[in-house]
Amino acid sequence: MANLVTHHASEDIDDIIQTLEQDGCLVIEGLLDDDEVNPLQSHMHSTFEKIPDCNGNVYGHETKRIGTLFSRHETFQKMAVMNPIIEIMDHFLLQSCNDFQVNLTQATSKGPAEAKRALRQDDLIFPFRHPEQEVMLTCLWAIDEFTEDNGAMVLVPGSHRWERSESVAPSYENLPAEQTAKAVMKKGSVLIYLGSIYHCDSANKSNERRCSAMISYSLGWLRQAENSYLAYSKEAVSTMPERLRHLLGYFAHQPNLGSINGIDPIDYFLNNKSENQLIEFIPEMMYKSLRNEHLN
């Protein structure tokens, strides 16, 4: 099996980023301590008791899923904004946008007998020819321990450096075992992988359900997988920390994406501002190309 590097949260951010550049995936442990993860674990297990299994080859047939995590437990709010997560997103996503956002929040409870699933790249949810830069990254938090047997994710470290192919994805069965790694990790750890990394779910061969929480991030000018403007009420958004509101997408991305009457969306939504003098905020670089077009 390939090596999936595990860093501790206390390690230097440059070393963590270097591993992600090299391998495209890693585990960070020590981000949540037992006092934080244990209440979250019991809350999610009881939440899932009322949720039906999904039905689909991608979602699974013995797996339960729920979204809107930031209104389900306050620890999810903390997880979304903590370092080194944000520093990692800064590094990978700010290469291609001015602001990034949360793409999806989804907790999963994988039941015994859930089958393994096909190898895939998460960033294919965005249907365009993919650039060299990453457009999304996923954080998969272990709410329960991920073991060899309970359906831990399988990744192909380094596959983000493979040439992108328009044809079908490689099949897991055809990959040599030494190219794949299983994300075995303690509860409270997080697996982080780039959107271009090939990965798949292994089968849950244990007798117990296993819970995880996914928080993924994407470029600020892309459509979000979870519609966060509808997911949370005005009251819920008003009590959220400013950084989290921003991550939900309450910002105008340069030059003017997502603005309303020239107003920042959070002022429109929470502060009852509805009209404004439209102040241009097109970046200097764009002015130059517009001017050049005019002169030619």
Q: Which residues bind ligand AKG (CB under 6 A)?
A: 108, 110, 140, 151, 153, 201, 212
Residue whose CB is less far from ligand AKG, 93 or 142:
142
Which residues, in sequence order, are CB contacts of 138 under 8 Å at separation 6+? Answer: 122, 192, 193, 195, 214, 215, 216, 217
β pairing state of 136-142 and 210-219: antiparallel
The nearest distance, CB 39 to ligand AKG, in angstroms, is 19
CA atoms within 13 A on the CB side of 225: 22
Residue 84 or 151: which CB sits closer to ligand AKG? Answer: 151
> CB nearest ligand AKG: which residue?
212
In angstroms, what is the minimal distance from the CB of 106 to ligand AKG?
Answer: 7
Other C-beta atoms closer than 10 Å to the C-beta of 268 total 19
Least distance from C-beta 151 to ligand AKG, angstroms?
Answer: 6
> Between 212 and 228, whose beta carbon lies closer to ligand AKG?
212
Instruction: Give alpha helix (H) positions in 82-233.
Output: 85-93, 228-231
What are residue 192's phi and psi, to 5 degrees? -120, 130
- Minimum Å gap between C-beta 110 and ligand AKG is 5
* CB-nearer residue toward ligand AKG: 7 or 64: 64
Beta pairing, strands 63-66 & 6-8? unpaired
Residue nearer to ligand AKG on the CB measure, 172 or 251 = 172
CB of 201 to ligand AKG, least distance (A): 5
Query: Which tokens go with 251?
Result: 């910002």
- Closest distance to ligand AKG from the beta carbon of 290 (Å): 42
Instruction: Give 23 or 201: the residue with its C-beta nearer to ligand AKG.
Output: 201
* CA 180 – CA 37 distance, rounded (Å): 28
